Each structure stands twice: as C-alpha cells, then as structure tokens.
Amino acid sequence: MYNNAKQKKFEVTMKNIGQKRKHLTDVEIGRIIEAADQGESHRSIGKRFKRENATISRLVKKYKHTGKTERAVGSGRKPKTSKMEDRYILNAVKKNRKITRSEIKLDLNLTNISKWTISRRIKASSDFFLESKLKNLLLVKSIEKSV
C-alpha cells in the first residue's frame, strides 16, 4: 500500500490536520505530575497519555516553578475595546434597538474593531439581555392573555 515510510508518515500527519485535542483534565494533570515526580520520563508519560512531549514538559516545568498548574490570571488576550467604547456601544443599542453593527461601527468611528466584537460586547452586557428577555416575556404573556 505504501511505497516508503515517508509516504506513510505523510498520510498519518495529514489525518491529524484539523483535529483539536481536548484540554488535559484535572485527573490527567495529577497523574502526569505524579508520574514525573516518580522519575518517569516525559516521553513515556506522553505515550501513556497520548500527548506531545512538549505538553508534558511544559506542564511539569510549570508545576516545578510555581507549584500550580492553572494558568496565570490575566494571561489571556487583552480586550480590543476600552470600557468607554463598550459603554458607547451599549448606549447606541439602548437608544436604537434596530441599529446594525455596521452602523454602530460607523457612528462611533470604531475602524479597528470588527462587527463580531461589537456583537460580543452587546451579548456580554447581562442587563441588556435581561431587559430584552423580560420585554419578550411580558409580550408573550400579554398575547396569551388576549387569545
């Protein structure tokens, strides 16, 4: 079936493209740390848990330096919009519920922000959604009473 080992290796790697791995569970992390403390090699741990050596090494190194395996607080991506811009977006929506994301972007001169970011900021505002859900609920109840 395969002409040589390179062709087989290529096919195996092509199967893996696009596959996403799940994060390590807390149980797996505990077992990995325990195995590393007992002196097991990172390669053998990686084979046992079907993970890359780099993943195991990174986890063990982090545990040795910090004593923890959780990611640092605030280590994620920084927000693209400021709190002031978020308020402008929400105020624009509260003034006109039918305004589009593109109109908000143009009105507020948010040239470096995508319309998807604007959507996320609106969805992140819990009071906006609670208010709109409450209005929808009241509307449904009033329609049910009239029927």
Which residues of the chain register pLDDT less than 50?
Answer: 10, 14
pLDDT at residue 140, as a whole number: 55
pLDDT at residue 112, as a whole number: 84
Burial class from Cβ neighbours inside 10 Å (0-12, 13-18, 19+) for residue 103 reads middle
pLDDT at residue 13, as a whole number: 54
pLDDT at residue 35, as a whole number: 95
pLDDT at residue 61, as a whole number: 94
Q: Choose among 74, 77, 85, 86: nearest CA to 124.
A: 86
Q: Choose among 76, 19, 85, 95: nearest CA to 52.
A: 19
